[in-house]
């Protein structure tokens, strides 16, 4: 079980809002970690679903506050500012740590003093906690990270100095604040990959990334445009596919649906012009091919 001393090793931060059905599991996954010392913060956004009653049960094991905030990034930043430990983790209220995760991270960071941020492997689980499959984590490659977010947020851990070097989360972002942070930090210094399962990321219909997929992708496009001046084609294509799915325009089993292909071509061309102001030759050939 987690030890509680005056000199904790880890600060764990959990933002929460109306996640009473999941937050107990998140808390338990932190308190059941072995071989480490922990200070644990929960910053709740004035939940009305019973979350506060659950937090009261653990008042002797964690520090919590329930008050209106300006969104998830604001809540996490409040936790980062409160953290006093060398190692810091960010666990959302519907995710979980894998058994032994904190001990593995502690051993890795102790052995690698130059590492500011480390990320590990993770699994997707369903609403009941059943295994859905592995999160598509990859070895570190900054160019690849610009094309796909292969880092699972709850499987990331920081040294306290990381926030002095790279700053805190961008509170203007509501969906991709974690992805923006990986890109910001990785541009200056590689993130280390620990090939060990550290977290379980829960997929359910109420998550922002599933419930508001079009808005998520639009924010990613704006963020990428602001950061790099142009958006990688892979993200533009992903946005267009999500937009068509939201409009219930889908490819048939063989991918031969003419309506889908034409709409995909036109939406892709428009997205390239809107966000990048031009279409690369390779993408133009793809668009024309679909129109034919």
The angle that helices 177-188 and 72-82 make with each other, rounded to 10 degrees, is 50
31 lies in the same domain as 82:
yes
Q: Are 102 and 199 in contact (CB under 8 A)?
A: no
117 lies in the same domain as 90:
yes
Q: List beta partners, residue 42.
A: 14, 64
pLDDT bracket for residue 254 (50, 70, 90):
very low
- Which stretches does DSSP call E strand in 53-202? 63-66, 87-90, 96-97, 117-125, 131-134, 156-159, 192-202
103 lies in the same domain as 183:
yes
> Is the overall model pTM greater than 0.75, yes or no?
yes
Q: Are 137 and 155 in contact (CB under 8 A)?
A: yes
Domain that holds residue 14: 10-204
Tens-place pLDDT, residues 5-58 = 445 699 999 999 999 999 999 999 999 999 999 999 999 999 999 999 999 999
171 lies in the same domain as 274:
no
Per-residue model confidence (pLDDT) at position 4: 45
In a domain, 3, yes or no: no
User: Closest by alpha carbon to 108, among 194, 22, 11, 171?
Assistant: 194
- If DSSP codes are grouped into helix, strand and coil, which group holds residue 245? helix
Helix (H) or strand (E) holding 15: strand 10-16
Per-residue model confidence (pLDDT) at position 257: 63
Percent of the chain at pLDDT above 90? Answer: 79
200 lies in the same domain as 255:
no
Tell me how many domains the chain contains. 2
pLDDT bracket for residue 174 (50, 70, 90):
very high
In a domain, 112, yes or no: yes
The owner of tokens 């030890």 is 3
User: Closest by alpha carbon to 73, among 130, 3, 142, 153?
Assistant: 153
User: Closest by alpha carbon to 54, among 29, 26, 80?
Assistant: 26
42 lies in the same domain as 74:
yes
CA–CA separation, 56 and 68 (whole Å)? 18
CA–CA separation, 92 and 83 (whole Å)? 16
| First CA to last CA distance, the chain | 63
In a domain, 2, yes or no: no
235 lies in the same domain as 165:
no
Which tokens belong to 142?
Answer: 């900054």
User: Closest by alpha carbon to 124, among 133, 115, 114, 116?
Assistant: 133
**What are the C-alpha distances in Å from 265 to residues 53, 283, 288, 291?**
52, 10, 7, 6
Question: Given 158, 175, 204, which residue is the final one in a domain?
Answer: 204
Of 254 and 52, the one with more pLDDT: 52
CB-neighbour burial class of residue 160 (10 A; exposed 0-12, middle 13-18, buried 19+): middle
In a domain, 155, yes or no: yes
């Amino acid at each position: 079980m987690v030890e509680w001393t005056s000199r904790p090793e880890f600060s764990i931060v959990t933002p929460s809002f109306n996640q009473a059905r999941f937050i107990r599991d998140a808390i338990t996954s932190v308190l059941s970690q072995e071989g480490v010392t922990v200070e644990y913060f929960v910053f709740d956004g004035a939940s009305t679903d019973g979350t506060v009653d659950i937090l009261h049960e653990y008042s002797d094991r964690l520090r919590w506050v329930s008050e209106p905030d300006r969104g998830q990034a604001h809540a996490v930043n409040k936790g980062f500012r409160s953290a006093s430990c060398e190692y810091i983790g960010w666990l959302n209220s519907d995710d979980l740590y894998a058994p032994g995760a904190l001990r593995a991270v502690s051993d890795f960071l102790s052995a690698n003093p130059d590492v500011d941020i480390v990320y590990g492997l993770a699994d997707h689980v369903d609403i009941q906690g059943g295994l859905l499959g592995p999160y598509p984590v990859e070895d570190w490659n900054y160019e690849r990270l610009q094309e796909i977010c292969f880092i699972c947020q709850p499987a990331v851990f920081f040294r306290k100095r990381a926030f002095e070097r790279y700053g805190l989360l961008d509170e203007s972002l509501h969906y991709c604040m974690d992805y923006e942070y990986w890109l910001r930090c990785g541009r200056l210094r590689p993130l280390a990959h620990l090939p060990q399962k550290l977290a379980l990321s829960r997929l359910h219909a109420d998550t922002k990334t599933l419930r508001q997929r079009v808005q998520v992708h639009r924010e990613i496009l704006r963020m990428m445009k602001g950061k790099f001046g142009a958006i990688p084609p892979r993200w533009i294509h992903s946005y267009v596919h999500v937009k068509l799915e939201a409009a219930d325009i889908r490819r048939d089993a063989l991918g031969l649906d003419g309506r889908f292909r034409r709409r995909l071509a036109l939406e892709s061309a428009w997205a390239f012009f809107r966000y990048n102001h031009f279409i690369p030759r390779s993408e133009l050939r793809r668009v024309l091919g679909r129109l034919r």
